[in-house]
A and B are shown apart, each in its own frame.
Chain A
């Protein structure tokens, strides 16, 4: 049975694009772990050298190589959940073979536990329960929204629910009335920019793909939302999946791509099923697949599931992962717009970016630009978590004051507490504190404070928190997720972690500071990708805002 079964699992995906991850998941699901026998079969079936395959499998956090591993609980001990009892829950579940996992994108409802393909939430083994991910609250500022406008409507995740308020009208308009160039023009004029954090103008990216030589082209939806404190893409995909699918199809129409990939993080199993169903519904209705709405435009979406690696949110790593290679970032240039999936032109876009496109096409570029404040175009989803009254996802006009979000929209700190610091860009932007909290939620303002908005994750730390410990947890995450390719990041994140937890490093404050600054400077300047470049924001902002806590830490050792 085993050999025939192996063959069937491989055959199911062998002729599809990007077959390795689904084949590995098929074995992982069937056996509950990835056995030596399974890897030998996959190596032979997909013609991947066994040593390479073995190495690649060990790169991913969630592929278990021990029997029974798949169904052992994985408890989030991420930066928010560790404030909410994640470590205690892990200890309580140890007898069930529980292991820790880094932030799994449920910071609005801690503590998530992944058991097989189910997300449970709770704080003790007894109160763990399966629960659908939280919906965003109605916009507290009464601001007009782009992405969340209809997300709270019942049944929105179904095709019927989505179509009730104009769903797929943008795609219909595009394929029936517009040329790809006209669609590109609308997106460019809207000033929509990459909402995964890099902020690259979407219209410019799509035009580069449209103009690039080489076929077939691809649209890749980056749904590997791995940044700690970010859970906005999950909200879109769980509650408004068709918005993202329609955005992908529009991207395909504008760029001339006939195939799309969704690279979804492992930690969102419910989302996987929702997307699977939504894709099937749209295909059955002729809104995806061959000859969409009877036009000459075809667009096939392939859903792929990651296996636990933050770095796979970096587009080069993501593409390598899709292609079944070791998920190291790629050297740039060339960029994915010319050399993306299988070295062919590829638009890699974040979920939020793609979900913004249908309303933009429906309501026009000027409408979208007008949603921002102080001359900024559009809106941004912010995932707010930590020591705050009402954590959750908020769609803010770009340019909204941070203090308005924290105090008016989200109810401010917990009773009797004050806000000591917030992180920016999840963890990647380090901390803001003191006067620097008086900024507006747009890149120029936050960059002027020495950080960046990035993907829009904000974690709040109140005055009860030890900021050196918070910085340590952040750096430990980066060390855990460093891919190991470039030296400054691989060694630098480790050395900074050791200095933040006191395991190593000088006991003299000046020497400690010099070491931490030198490592950070070399990492920022020479790292090969954004992970290593961003990690020192944590230590630099710690030194800037919390010199006294640093002094206590160094002298206490």
Chain B
């Protein structure tokens, strides 16, 4: 088959549907929501996280499909050829506003600090977009915060929880930990761990993915929140996590020249929004007062004394040379730090191999 005829066949097979009066192409297996997002319809959602299996809980993404009586959740409905969809008629928009007014009626707060987590502004943004009246459907509040969970990383502020189950699903589907689940049912639903205990007694690995997918800030980054009262705007700087060799993309959160938190890059090619406990929460060393900034030289009595780099390097080089002369090249063994960036790891192995003529080089990330 020539390239030309192959393209022609693909064109013939091109699947189309009608979205808000416009013909739109789609691929086999796509949902209405995915097609609508590509067409920039900005369909609202709260329980949706594109990395997770579509769940269909918040019902904000409902759309009208011609020939179907009730609106359907666009996130769970696959497109079929010739389907005619209206993504946001006035009727649908009214349902969405009512739904948002119902959602905010169970919550204590709608405006939360963006330091709480990556997705923490989703509810606020939708409430503003729809002009939803926060006090309209007054009544009992749902969710009970678990302030007694004394872990240093994750704030479990369920007063703000809207039971979208993104945390439970990300923990199961992305992380494979199944550390959290939902207990009870209906309005008494509560996100829980086994026996409703503390995270540190559960299978939680404190990867923080639940925090970052939470659309209301009910799960929040305790470490980032330490900087809640620091003046200044939060700046995000894209970089690569310096820990292991995976190369997770992260956004460093800074206020002024202070590193205040880390968020995973949802579009990071290596991690797709995932991080581990170290990449997510272990950044205090960067600006820690005990961090070594100048070389220290061990004295005869065992104590350390600050020195300059030239002196330190000369002494180290002399030590290496002495070992090499007295015991041979196999007396040298290099272990690169897992925290060092890739370029440094490369230099390290070159230093050991070219400098000493030995293959005795390793990296602590392997352990």
Contacts and interface: CB of A to CB of B under 8 A. Distances in A.
Contact of A525 (B71, B136, B139): B71
Contacts of B138: 504-505
B203 A528 contact: no
B139 A521 contact: no
Given A479-B187, A504-B139, A491 B103 contact: yes
Contacts of B73: 331, 528
B193 to A, nearest CB: 5
Contacts of B192: 51, 54-55, 58
A49 B203 contact: yes
Interface in A309-344: 309, 311, 326, 331, 333
Given A36-B195, A51-B178, A52-B178, A490 B163 contact: yes
Contacts of A479: 186-187
B194 interface: yes
B266 interface: no
A257 interface: no
Interface stretch (B13-21, B56-64, B248-256, B299-307): B56-64
Interface in B156-196: 162-163, 165, 172, 178-189, 192-196
Contacts of A528: 56-57, 59, 73
B203 A491 contact: no
B194 A522 contact: no
Contacts, number: 150
A482 interface: yes
B240 interface: no
Contacts of B194: 39, 50-51, 53-54
Contacts of B140: 494, 498, 503-504
B101 to A, nearest CB: 8
Interface residues of B, number: 51
Contact of A51 (B91, B137, B189, B203): B203
A485 interface: yes
Contacts of B165: 485
Interface residues of A, number: 48
B225 interface: no
Interface in A475-494: 479-488, 490-494
Nearest to A56: B181
Given A331-B73, A491-B102, A486 B183 contact: no
Interface string B89-132: 00100010011001101100000000000000000000000000
Interface in B66-83: 70-71, 73, 76, 78
A485 B142 CA distance: 14
Contacts of B58: 486-487
Contacts of A490: 163, 186-187, 189
B186 A495 contact: no
A498 B139 contact: yes
Contact of B186 (A482, A518, A521, A524): A482
A181 B51 CA distance: 44
A515 interface: yes
B120 to A, nearest CB: 18
- Of A59, A309, A488, A526, most buried by chain B (CB within 10 Å of CB) is A526
Interface in A36-65: 36, 39, 49-56, 58-59
Nearest to A498: B139
B31 to A, nearest CB: 10
B359 to A, nearest CB: 44
A494 B187 contact: yes
Given A326-B181, A484-B163, A487-B58, A492 B102 contact: yes
B146 interface: no
A232 B185 CA distance: 27
Interface in B35-75: 46, 54-60, 62, 70-71, 73
B180 to A, nearest CB: 6
B102 A519 contact: yes
Nearest to B182: A55
A444 to B, nearest CB: 16
Interface of B: 46, 54-60, 62, 70-71, 73, 76, 78, 91, 95, 98-99, 102-103, 105-106, 136-140, 142, 162-163, 165, 172, 178-189, 192-196, 202-203
11 contacts: A36-B195, A49-B203, A486-B56, A487-B46, A488-B59, A490-B163, A491-B106, A494-B139, A495-B105, A522-B99, A533-B70
Given A486-B58, A488-B59, A495-B137, 10 more contacts: A39-B194, A54-B196, A55-B192, A58-B184, A331-B54, A488-B102, A491-B106, A518-B98, A527-B59, A528-B73
For the complex of A and B, list the 8 residue pairs with the smallest distance between their C-beta atoms, beginning with the closest.
A49-B178, A55-B181, A484-B189, A482-B186, A522-B98, A526-B59, A331-B76, A504-B139
